A and B are shown apart, each in its own frame.
Chain A
């Protein structure tokens, strides 16, 4: 029993050491530094409980991203509730902490881009982030988000059009000039 526990513990330690920075980075990109540590910790707690299910490399990290994504879903809801509370407290004159996500943004343009990314639908946003920030291949993204490769491509295409519209005024004319028949495609 102790030997099994010890093996399990060592396996987990190796997993943790190998991937803690990537998972922490994943959480930080989405949540900001302050809450990322908690999310990372929770992700590895889930990983500890699900240790026997964790696939070997190269699927280990995408699997952990999948866990982290779901942990963050809960954290976001908590943050939204907190934001509502903050708004109420603000109305009462009680000072509130700034949005932690803002703390990790360094320049105005990046803020603008991140704000645009945040306007995407949740799944589209996650796909874009996994591609651009976690640098995952599309096949792996499809596994992480539980979609087909074609569906991922479709959402990427939709997201890029939306981002271009928001961030680059020139892109708007491209979208408007798209023939109506093409705009209806896929519906």
Chain B
């Protein structure tokens, strides 16, 4: 039935059954535009497959604290920047780049998939970074960011957890910052020469989990073009926060739930699975390096590297959550109630 229906109904409705029909279309506009653009556009250097794999590994390793929603783009600034140099978060970041940064934050807070995608153009989909990885944390698939249904599905997840991002401060990362791993950028790899990195400290409030973290959202620019966006975790337990729990608190809730409501724990929690060395070459060493003098802390941080046992599907997209927030968003309301119960009992 499958092909018979399509062959019989759809195939004959082809608006252009033969491309030669279009030979009469004036392509001089295309020629002219192409030549104009070609004279002004330098070809963009794209990394080799090997480099891509290496970066994929690097990002994978950094996934302990890094979540990547990669998408390489040609971001054409449209002006209309509402950001001024008096913006307290702006720091030394150029106004144009700051406008882009704010656009993405606003799109995420508004769950506006269209605005989110609009920050990225078609250019991005073929860069080695151009994967939009599916997971609760935006990590783990190989779909392009252009898919609005995928972005919407991802936004449904962050909506279930009530994510609210609050820009605190932004600054340009120097090469020295990258080399020595200072300022929490965890050696974020540049995609090539000429790229510049901006890192913004962001308070991320996961309202449904009563959880507040401080993250570093890293934006990779090439001039005014946004190449990449991702984030690192800067502080799992920020001292100054508006929500009751840091990550220590969330772990404590998990322990409380397992001890007091094992049946609920079975439903709500999602066991984290340590990747084998085959899957993640060098992960063990990286895990240990997270806290060289504190193996227990390193092991706790390492859990954020792991994948979760159970995934889920939204609108046909499969999600494979990472270790940071592995819970199924379908039970977000129940988890929220459970955490409130825990907070009252504490």
Contact = CB atoms under 8 A, between A and B. Distances in A.
B10 A128 contact: yes
A136 interface: no
Nearest to B22: A24
B2 A157 contact: yes
Q: Which of the four size classes fits the interface of chain B?
A: 35 or more
Contacts of A8: 43
Interface stretch (B142-150, B160-168, B213-221, B331-339): B142-150
A65 interface: no
B22 A156 contact: no
Nearest to A52: B46
B272 to A, nearest CB: 26
Nearest to B141: A146
A42 B29 CA distance: 12
Interface string A40-77: 11101110111111000000000000110011011001
The 10 closest A-B pairs by CB, nearest first: A25-B19, A113-B13, A21-B19, A132-B10, A160-B5, A110-B13, A25-B16, A70-B122, A71-B122, A73-B146
Given A50-B46, A156-B6, 18 more contacts: A20-B27, A24-B19, A25-B19, A28-B15, A33-B25, A42-B122, A45-B33, A45-B38, A66-B125, A70-B146, A73-B117, A110-B12, A122-B147, A129-B10, A133-B15, A159-B6, A160-B1, A167-B9
Interface of B: 1-7, 9-16, 19-23, 25, 27, 29-30, 33-34, 37-38, 41, 43-44, 46, 114, 117-118, 121-123, 125-126, 142-144, 146-149, 316
Interface of A: 8-9, 12, 16, 20-22, 24-25, 28-29, 33, 37, 40-42, 44-46, 48-53, 66-67, 70-71, 73-74, 77, 104-106, 109-110, 113-114, 116-117, 121-123, 128-129, 131-133, 146, 153, 156-157, 159-161, 163-164, 167-168, 171, 174
5 contacts: A29-B16, A44-B30, A50-B126, A66-B126, A77-B114
